[in-house]
Amino acid sequence: MNTSPVIRTAGVNDAPEVSRLLRSAMLTYCADSGISSSMLEAMTESIESVADRISRQTCLVAETDGKIVGSICIKKCPNPLVYNFSDKTFEYLKDLGESSYISRFAVLEKYRKTGLGIDLMTRAVDLAAGSGAECILLHSAATNKNMVEFYAKRGFRLIDSENSRGYMRGLFAYDLKG
């Protein structure tokens, strides 16, 4: 059939397929970032953990021909200072009210560079803006040129970076205040 992907809200029954997608996408992410897959929490989380995240956050999936080919999760973050790790980060976050946080963004390799990732990110940004968030935050490997460029083209900017997880991890922000 090969229809265009449809974006919908995930249900907990999608957890096994979302888990498989995440593991597959994170292998490419690790290779592109120059980091070991053992450094990523997403590589070891159980299907139950994925189902729990789906039940507690807004998780969107892109589906085509009955198969999940993309995902992104976004949650409200009433106190963005939970992501503070330096004076520089604190200065950026200290005056923010409610924010949103994006995680587990993944697109099946076959669907990369088709606009699907842009569509998922746009939907997540729209959800955050509609919820009254002032800012959207996300973490990504600062060494992953493809992802850093992708986020920059969507309006995210690198706020700070740190290596507490064994690799240079950047905190990116998208200002929704204008």
Residue 174 has pLDDT above 90, yes or no: yes
Of 172, 100, 158, which is closest to residue 134 (Cα–Cα)? 100
| Dist CA 84 CA 139 (whole Å) | 12
Residue 150 has pLDDT above 70, yes or no: yes
Cβ atoms of 173 and 159 closer than 8 Å? yes
Amino acid, single-letter form, for residue 84? N
Of 147, 143, 104, which is closest to residue 124 (Cα–Cα)? 104
User: CATH classification of 6-175 is 3.40.630.30, yes or no?
Assistant: yes
Condensed to tens digits (0 to 9), the pLDDT of residues 51-110 reads 999 999 999 999 999 999 999 999 999 889 998 889 999 999 998 989 999 999 999 999
pTM of the model: 0.93
| Dist CA 50 CA 13 (whole Å) | 10
| Dist CA 149 CA 176 (whole Å) | 19
In which residue are the tokens 């200290």 written? 94
CA distances from 144 to 18, 25, 41, 136 (A): 22, 13, 17, 19
